[in-house]
């Protein structure tokens, strides 16, 4: 979750129009390391642990809903990868305001997942 919350935040600053070349190169390094060293291993571990829960607990509706939201975060994860590659190739056309808005998506989904975990409403 930390990576999904932080990477779009870096994109916000990287998408600024008055950014210098040196700063852009620093952001590229930060984005690449964050994605490859932190986010990808966490992504793999999350899916392995989630699927093992499915195996041991069975498919309760609350677990199905939680996996659905994790699937949404997975889609967001790979959309972030697409944005990362556009920055890496100096082809980003998206404004920083867009990244400010999309930065809130994983936080909203996280709140829904926490509600499902704590309260098991279904």
Position 55 scores a pLDDT of 83
Whole domain around residue 112: which residue ranges? Answer: 2-119
For the chain, the domain total comes to 1
Handedness of CA 34, 38, 41, 42 (dihedral sign): negative
Position 122 scores a pLDDT of 62
Whole-angstrom Cα distance, residue 80 to residue 74?
A: 10
Handedness of CA 20, 25, 26, 28 (dihedral sign): positive
pTM as predicted: 0.87
48-91 per-position pLDDT tens digit: 988 888 888 777 787 788 889 989 999 999 999 999 999 999 99
DSSP 107: H
12-37 per-position pLDDT tens digit: 999 998 999 999 999 999 999 999 99
41's tokens = 């291993």
CA distances from 78 to 13, 71, 90, 117 (A): 20, 11, 18, 24
Residue 116 in this model has a pLDDT that exceeds 90: no
């Amino acid at each position: 979750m930390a990576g999904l919350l932080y990477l779009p935040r870096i994109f916000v600053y990287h998408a600024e129009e008055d950014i210098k070349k040196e700063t852009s190169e620093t952001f590229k390094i930060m984005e690449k390391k964050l994605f490859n060293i932190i986010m990808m291993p966490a992504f793999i571990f999350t899916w392995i642990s989630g699927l093992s829960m499915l195996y041991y607990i069975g498919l309760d509706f609350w677990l199905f809903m939680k996996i659905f939201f994790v699937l949404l975060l997975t889609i967001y994860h790979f959309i972030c990868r697409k944005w990362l590659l556009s920055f890496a190739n100096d082809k980003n056309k998206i404004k920083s305001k867009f990244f400010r808005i999309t930065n809130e998506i994983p936080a909203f989904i996280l709140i829904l997942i926490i509600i499902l975990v704590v309260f098991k409403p279904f």
